[in-house]
């Protein structure tokens, strides 16, 4: 029954802020925080924060495409990030906080490219869309304390998110969408 499930992998800054937006959709089976795109095997949070491993903080989403198509997941993704910022996201700066879509097959690559082009032509941004579209590589789940952080550490999550500026940006660009 689970052989039709697929994976989607996205980097959107701090992975704590990237779990909840996907976790609440029908068709999304799991959202795992982790690291991808770097050269060190089995990196730790400290390794990645050092800025020397090349990894992105990312989320790996397992979803049912018959309920939540990849194109819809892409729409959710774009509405969580500032796709014009190549230095990180909001208060989180550095390479590990850059944005990227990691595709798992040619259909995901094409859908990501189409959605990026549509966003670039939408008039929502007056700067270029710098989010990279890259082939998925090994995904390393983050330490347990990072998983479902918004549920396990609700107050700290709310405080961190509030001071990040992410919600103000989303409201300004996307409204209550």
- The residue behind tokens 């491993």 is 53
Distance CA 22, CA 29 (A): 10
What tokens appear for 123 in the block? 């008039």
Catalytic residue from among 14, 48, 100, 101:
14
17 in catalytic set: no
Contact 93, 33 (CB under 8 A): no
* Beta strands 6-12; 56-63: pairing state: antiparallel
The backbone torsions φ and ψ at residue 145, rounded to the nearest 5 degrees and listed phi first, read -65, -15
Structure-token match 């495409």, residue found? 65
| Alpha carbon of residue 14 to chain centroid | 8
Supply the residues annotated as catalytic: 14
């Amino acid at each position: 029954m689970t052989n039709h499930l697929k994976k989607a992998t996205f980097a959107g800054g701090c992975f704590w802020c990237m779990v909840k937006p996907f976790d609440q959709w029908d068709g999304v089976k799991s959202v795992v925080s982790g690291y991808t795109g770097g050269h060190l095997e089995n990196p730790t949070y400290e390794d990645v924060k050092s800025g020397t491993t090349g990894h992105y903080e990312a989320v790996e989403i397992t979803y049912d495409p018959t309920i939540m198509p990849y194109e819809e997941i892409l729409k959710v993704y774009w509405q969580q990030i500032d796709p014009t910022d190549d230095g990180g996201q909001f208060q989180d700066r550095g390479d590990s906080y850059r944005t990227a879509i990691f595709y798992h097959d040619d259909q995901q690559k094409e859908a990501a490219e189409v959605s990026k082009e549509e966003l670039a032509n939408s008039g929502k941004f007056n700067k270029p869309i710098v989010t990279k579209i890259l082939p998925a590589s090994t995904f390393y789940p983050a330490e347990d304390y990072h998983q479902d952080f918004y549920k396990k550490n609700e107050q700290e999550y709310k405080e961190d998110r509030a001071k990040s500026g992410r919600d103000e940006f989303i409201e300004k660009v996307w409204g209550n969408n």
